Amino acid sequence: MTTTPTHTDTPRIVTVRQNILKANDHVAAGNRTTFAQHNLRVLNLTSSPGAGKTALLERTLQDLSPSTRLAVAVGDLATENDAARLRRHGVQAEQIVTGTVCHLDAGMVRDVLPRFDLPSLDVLLLENVGNLVCPASYDLGETARVVLLSTTEGEDKPLKYPTIFNTADVVVVTKMDLAPHVGYDRAAALDNIDRARPGVKVIEVSSRTGEGLDAWYAFVHGR
């Protein structure tokens, strides 16, 4: 049996939420216009905590910069750790501290843009807060939304978090080097991804061994 939650004040929550989302979509459209003006490719990277977003970004910066001109904005509830990790690779990385907010929104991205010299960039990578729920509802104005799924998380996650997988332009399966150690069931994972988002492109990588990164880099470049 299944219980549907009954909130005392559901109608009010929904109304406010819809207003926020409308305001967010308006700002996201502005961001999208800005990105188009500068011919800038912008990727919104989402996943659960610890799926390997920062590791994939580190490897990407190391391998593609400076021939591709990259920069990163990183969202986290607290700490500057990720931006500091990424700056070691000689690219600009700005931290967006969200406090108790469980996702980036378009306004946070708009507010960080003046720190970047957009005309000098090819690709801007937005690392969202580690969360498989909240970021699904917030368009940032990105060119493409990337959802990461690690082999250590369990193959059922696309079915358990359908909203975020259903909005993915590409699903990157990370930590492929750990697949044998965790009994990863590749067929089940791919099937569940396809059920959540039929036909979506899947790229399987290991940021540690380099497996599959060529396909990921082609996506970063929009090829």
35 is a contact residue toward a copy of itself (CB under 8 A): no
CA dist., res. 95 & res. 83, Å (int): 6
Q: Kindly provide the residue ranges of all beta strands, DSSP E only, lying in 37-129, ordered along the sequence.
A: 41-46, 70-76, 92-97, 123-127
Residues 51-90: x/- map of binding to a copy of itself (CB under 8 A)?
-------------------------xxxxxx---------
Nearest approach in angstroms of CB 132 to a copy of itself is 5
CA dist., res. 30 & res. 52, Å (int): 30
Q: Return the structure tokens found at 120.
A: 């000098």
CA distances from 123 to 56, 66, 91, 100 (A): 15, 11, 12, 28
98 φ/ψ angles, rounded to the nearest 5 degrees: -95, -5
Site residues for a copy of itself, window 179-208 (CB under 8 A)?
181-182
DSSP annotation of 221 reads: T
User: Which residue in the set 59, 89, 145, 175 belongs to the binding site for a copy of itself (CB under 8 A)?
Assistant: 175
Site residues for a copy of itself, window 110-149 (CB under 8 A)?
111-112, 115, 129-134, 137
Residues that bind a copy of itself (CB under 8 A): 1-9, 12-13, 16, 19-20, 23, 48-50, 76-81, 94-102, 105, 107-108, 111-112, 115, 129-134, 137, 150, 152-154, 156-157, 159-163, 175, 178, 181-182
